[in-house]
Structure 1
């Protein structure tokens, strides 16, 4: 499973900053593989991003 960014956004996790303290930016058009993590917050965040139009699920070949 992969997700394509449909609107650019920054990661709201304060632990995911670079060495300069800047948050990671997910740019429109980029595709990211889903990485399984423990915890319900991951699914809740995915649902939030999908429902707000920031990402969409794509097939492994990059198509909807």
Structure 2
């Protein structure tokens, strides 16, 4: 059951053109504090523009950290 849920999340992210790594990271950061209402859950969906903006920011932070390490 857990594997099926994970597979579903990964495939949904792929279908929406979202980087799976950053999407899973985003979910793990947000889920413990964002499961209070349907609106909050909607914000976590990979097709939501707010989610896509957050994922872009995670990606930028990661790229900056790599650049700073050089």
TM-score (normalised: structure 1): 0.32
Say which one has the larger Rg: 2
**Which structure is higher in helix share?**
2
**Which structure is higher in strand share?**
1
